[in-house]
Each structure stands twice: as structure tokens, then as C-alpha cells.
Structure 1
Amino acid sequence: MKFILSIGTEGWDKMALLLKDLEWVDGASPASPELQEKYTELGFCDLSVNRRQADDWYCLLRNVQGAEALPEILNGNLKHMIQSVKFLEDRLFCEWAYFVNFEERTFETWGHGTFLEEISFEGLSESDAFKWLDKMQKRDRIEREDCSDEEEEEEEEKENEDEKVSGDVKEDEPTPEEDHADDATTVTQDLQALAIEK
């Protein structure tokens, strides 16, 4: 957000034009030797990650991910970005995602694969921006806690259903105790449902 606010309206217009020329690449396709050389010399490459090869787009552009890419796009050094919008769907590894639209002058925030809010950065002060980001973090935390509570309730309901089902033993079937009579361990009633599920 600091970068966006620091470049002002002229910078936003320039970024909107530069982004139209940006080439979005498939991360699975190899980068050309010329681009490997160019981006390695610019310091964008990090060979300590992923496949550890410069033809791997992830390695080649590792040091200009996220907000780090914006100044490099503005100064004309960065002309390629990996198309990775699908990563947004990975709720485990993609905690935060931001979409900046320089034409519309908007900033979208996503938390754990869920759209949270969009804000216009036109006329926004730096302190307002950071208050807004803090608000998004709090909102995301609350939504995750709500989801977690709902998941716990669903798990409890499922466990209750499983206990009801596991409590109904047909006469011709041996009970877990009878079936494991030779075992030295005794399975308690509470653990029977877990043992059956596994």
C-alpha cells in the first residue's frame, strides 16, 4: 500500500499502461535462456526454492513476488509475471491475496480464499490505508473463528450420529469387545466410534 500511495495519480496512470504490456506466463512452461539471463542479472532469481533451476518461472521471479514486483514493473525491469490466480483457492497456503487495479484505482483484499473488501486508494492517506488493512485482518480472524466454530459443531453432530449408529449392533454381529476378546486392550465406548471410522 505504501508503494501505491507513494507514486500518486501520475504513477497510477503509468502503472495502468505498463500492466497492459505485462506478459502473464504459465508457471509450468520454461523461461527462455534470454529471460533467465536478464532476470538473474537483475537479482530476481532465487535458486534455493522449488526446482532450483533458472528456467523455472517460480525460481526466476521469486524475489519479485507480491508487492516487490510493483516498483520493478514501474521502472520497466519486470515484463513477466506468473499467472497464479488459482493459488487464491488454496485456503491453507494462501492466507492473504491482494488485487490492485490501477485503472479503477481499487485495492481488493482476500483472506483464506474469501473476498473481504475492496477500497479505492484515490484520496486515501497512508494511516487510513493501514487502519483499513488492520480492519481486514481482524475481520478475517473473526470469519476464520466463525468457520472453525461451524466446523466443530458439524464434527460434533457427525460424532453424535456415529455414536448412535455404532450403538446399534445387530444380533448376529459380534460386538467390538467380542471381536477383540483375545486383545489385551479394552476399547471404551467413547473410542468405539473412532475405531470404526478408521
Structure 2
Amino acid sequence: MGTHGLWGFIIASRRYACFSCYDSYPVGLGADVVKFILSLEPEDYEEMAELVDDITWLSEARAESKPPVEIQEKYVKLGFADAPAGDATFGSWSDLLHKRENAVVLPMIQTGELMHMVDSSTFLHHSWCLWAYFIDFEQKKLETWEHSARKPDEITFDDLIKCGLEGYLARFKYTRS
């Protein structure tokens, strides 16, 4: 059984997130998010804030509608989905974007390639949401929500740089094996 969670962004004080069906604990999805933040230079934060602000967030209801063929072709070329057989097309945005589930797509956001995501942020307070990670490039902080917590753990990017991945994981009593 997978460790369900979310990862996403805080944009103008509002949370947007993508569902993750596996490895959502800190040494999995959390570590991927932290590694991405640590790979950035401070001057990249403003650019990332602009890029995530430009993402078209699809509601879960709209995610079941059919995306335009030209967008389907673009995202298949980028590897977000396997090409449908023959002349078939994707029946929904969810089908098209299914490979965008984890933080491995953060570099694709940074390059401006990924411009559409399904917003599953309502899952945050669901009993099966065990971990959630929200990057706020405007305030330069990372929020980490643990299932049983009533409020998130927050760490600034400056403090994250100082403590590194191991220090971040230690906040949740995790270590890399």
C-alpha cells in the first residue's frame, strides 16, 4: 500500500497541490522537494514564483474533461504520458498528466515545459493524506504537513540551506539509510 500525500505550492497565500499515491514520507517525496529547493540559487526563487503562478491549475472536476489535441501531443513528447495507441487521444487531463504525480517534474516547471496541473489540495485534510509539502517561493519557505498535525512545520529556505537534507529529515525523526 502506498503512502498517500500531496506536494505543491503556495501562490498568493493559496495552496495548490498534486496528489501522490506512494512514497510521500519525508525520505521519499519530502527529500525530492528539499533537494530541488537546495539545487536552486537564491536568484531563482523569484523566477520560480512567476513560473508556478503561470501554471493552469485544473480542478478535479475539470481534470476529467478532454484536453486539446495540441496539448496532448506536447505533453506526450515531453514524456508526461505514453502515446495512446493508433489514432486514439487522451480522454481526460488526469490521464494525460498521470506521470506528473511526484516532485520529479519540478525541473520541468523550472524550464516552463509543464504548464498544467491537477489541483488536489482538498485531499490535505483527508484521513489518507499522510504527508504534504508546499513550497512558497514568494515567502521563501517550505511547509511540511504530517497527518496528525494541526498545523504545518515551516522552514525558511535560508534555514533549509543551513541544515541541509539531513537536518530537514531529522526534524521528522527520519534519516537517509
| TM-score after normalising by structure 1 | 0.59
Structure showing greater relative contact order (alpha-carbon pairs closer than 8 Å, 6 or more residues apart):
2
Query: Residues 30 and 4 from structure 1, CA distance in 2 versus in 1: closer, same or farther, beyond 3 angstroms?
Result: same
Q: Report which of the two has the higher share of strand.
A: 2
Query: Structure 2 unaligned runs (5+)?
Result: 1-33, 84-88
2:169 corresponds to 1:136: no
Question: 2:127 and 2:170 mapped to 1: Cα distance?
Answer: 20
Secondary structure at 1:122 match in 2: helix
Query: In the alignment, is the contact (CA less than 8 A) between 2:127 and 2:147 conserved in 1?
Result: yes
The number of aligned residues is 133
Q: Unaligned regions of 5+ residues in structure 1, if any? A: 48-52, 139-198
Stretches (4+) displaced over 4 A: none
Alpha-carbon RMSD: 2.4
What CA distance in whole angstroms lies between the structure 2 residues aligned with 1:28 and 1:44? 17
Letter in 1 for 2:39: S
Aligned pairs for 1:33-182 within 5 A: 33-45=69-81, 54-92=90-128, 94-112=129-147, 114=149, 115-125=151-161, 127-136=163-172
Higher helix proportion (structure 1 or 2)? 1
The aligned residue for residue 189 of structure 1 is: none
Quote the Cα distance in structure 2 between the aligned partners of 1:46 and 1:87: 26
Point out the structure with max Rg over C-alpha. Answer: 1
- Measured after TM superposition, the shift of residue 35 of structure 1 is 1.3
Identify if the C-alpha distance between structure 1 residues 119 and 95 changes in structure 2 by more than 3 Å, giving closer, same or farther: same
Would the aligned equivalents of 1:33 and 1:55 in 2 still touch at CA under 8 Å?
Answer: no
Once residues 12 and 4 of structure 1 are traced to their aligned partners in structure 2, the CA distance between those partners, rounded to angstroms, is 9
The TM-score with structure 2 as length reference comes to 0.65
Cα distance in structure 2, aligned partners of 1:118 and 1:104: 11
